[in-house]
């Protein structure tokens, strides 16, 4: 009998190539438009890092009509047991779910729709060994979170509702799982007590965006613009892969949102 993979062990992922319209992506804090070439280079390096970590990556074509569609994690969730089609909280992104649905239905035996009403973004969802945490935010409301708990239950997973800090776009903007027992978190999110059952590693002051790191198999991917966080994780014994996020950061994005990741077992 094979052991169940850890929640950060992946061998399959879906990404979507950036469209030229990505320069007009949504942003809460306007720091100017990213360049298309810059986003494309960061995305390519991300995909290369995924493959180097042992993940088979399926790259979907760009969608010019949807500037934010590079961020495939928001309209859907994937698990070894199946996929969930979400309803993004930004009006311009709602139809991204329709675009990715055929791919998920071709790859997964079970695909569940988020019940109505309500909306939920994948950026607010953090899978841990204990539960799937769903952060309430400007993009995920309580009705959507409760509907997501019902959808997760259909896949045999337990969901719990938590609160995203005020003024933070997504729950995972401020946290990420480092291993089965350890959470990387900003101080403002840690203060809420949401990670009381985990060992907490706190982001150095001024490097808060680094909290959106991504554990993939043996490595932790971290934004290259955050040297103190990288040094801290290196000293703690994590194998860090630094990736540029300067351009995608201009449209409120980080590392977790650019892929849907799961561990694909052998099909019977």
pLDDT digits (tens, 9 = 90+) for 71-103: 999 999 999 999 999 999 999 999 999 999 999
User: Is 85 a member of any domain?
Assistant: yes
Burial class (CB in 10 A: 0-12, 13-18, 19+), 103: middle
User: Is 72 a member of any domain?
Assistant: yes
User: Is 5 a member of any domain?
Assistant: no
Binding residues for substrate: 26, 68, 73-74, 93, 139, 251
Residue in this structure with the two tokens 């769903």, named with its chain if needed: 134
Binding residues: 26, 68, 73-74, 93, 139, 251
pLDDT score recorded for residue 266: 55
pLDDT score recorded for residue 30: 84
pLDDT at residue 209 is higher than 70 = yes
pLDDT score recorded for residue 2: 60
User: Is 6 a member of any domain?
Assistant: no
Catalytic residue among 43, 175, 257, 263: 257
Residue 157 sits in a domain whose CATH number is 3.75.10.10
Q: CA end-to-end span of the chain, whole Å?
A: 15
User: Is 126 a member of any domain?
Assistant: yes
- Pair 176, 210: CB distance under 8 Å: no
State the pLDDT confidence band at 4, using cuts at 50, 70 and 90. confident
In sequence order, the 6+-apart residues with CB closer than 8 A to the CB of 242 are 221, 222, 223, 224, 230
Question: What value does the mean pLDDT take over residues 130-141?
Answer: 97
pLDDT in tens, 107-127: 999 999 999 999 999 999 999
Question: What value does the mean pLDDT take over residues 59-81?
Answer: 98
Mean pLDDT of the chain: 96
β-strand pairing of 132-136 with 159-163: parallel
State the pLDDT confidence band at 267, using cuts at 50, 70 and 90. very low
Residue 170 annotated in active site: yes
Domain that holds residue 247: 12-262
Pick from 156, 6, 12: nearest CA to 82 = 156
Catalytic residue among 43, 170, 175, 263: 170
Q: Count CA atoms within 13 Å of residue 30 on its CB side.
A: 2
Residue 175 annotated in active site: no
User: Is 43 a member of any domain?
Assistant: yes
Number of structural domains, the chain?
Answer: 1
Question: What value does the mean pLDDT take over residues 217-230?
Answer: 98
The gap from C-alpha 23 to its chain's centroid, in whole angstroms, comes to 20
Burial class (CB in 10 A: 0-12, 13-18, 19+), 199: exposed
Q: Residues 79, 146, 175, 88: is their CA dihedral positive or negative?
A: positive
User: Is 183 a member of any domain?
Assistant: yes
Question: What value does the mean pLDDT take over residues 163-182?
Answer: 96
Q: What is the DSSP secondary structure assignment for residue 187, as one 8-state letter?
A: H
pLDDT in tens, 138-156: 999 999 999 999 999 999 9
User: Is 141 a member of any domain?
Assistant: yes
Angle at the Cα of 93 (from 84 to 176), degrees rounded to 5?
A: 60
pLDDT score recorded for residue 268: 30
Three-class SS state of 55: coil
């Amino acid at each position: 009998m094979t052991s169940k993979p850890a929640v950060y062990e992946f061998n399959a992922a879906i990404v979507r190539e950036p469209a030229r319209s990505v320069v007009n992506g949504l942003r809460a804090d306007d720091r100017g438009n990213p360049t298309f070439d810059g986003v494309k280079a960061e995305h390519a390096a991300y995909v290369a890092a995924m493959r180097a970590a042992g993940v088979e990556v399926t790259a979907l074509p760009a969608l010019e009509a949807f500037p934010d569609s590079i961020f495939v994690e928001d309209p859907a969730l994937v698990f070894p047991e199946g996929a969930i089609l979400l309803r993004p909280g930004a009006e311009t992104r709602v139809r991204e779910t329709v675009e990715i649905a055929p791919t998920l239905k071709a790859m997964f035996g079970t695909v569940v729709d988020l019940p109505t009403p309500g909306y939920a973004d994948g950026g607010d969802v953090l899978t841990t060994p204990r539960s799937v945490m769903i952060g309430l935010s400007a993009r995920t409301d309580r009705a959507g979170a409760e509907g997501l708990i019902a959808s997760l239950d259909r896949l045999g997973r337990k969901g719990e509702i938590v609160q995203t800090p005020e003024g933070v776009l997504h729950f995972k903007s401020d946290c990420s799982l480092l291993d089965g027992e350890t959470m990387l978190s900003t101080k403002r999110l840690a203060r809420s007590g949401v990670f009381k059952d985990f060992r907490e590693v706190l982001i150095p002051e001024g490097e808060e965006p680094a909290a959106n790191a991504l554990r993939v198999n043996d490595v932790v991917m971290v934004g290259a613009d955050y040297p103190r966080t990288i040094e801290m994780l290196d000293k703690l014994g994590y194998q860090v892969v630094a990736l540029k996020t300067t351009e995608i950061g201009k449209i409120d994005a980080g590392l977790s949102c650019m892929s849907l990741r799961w561990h694909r077992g052998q099909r019977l």
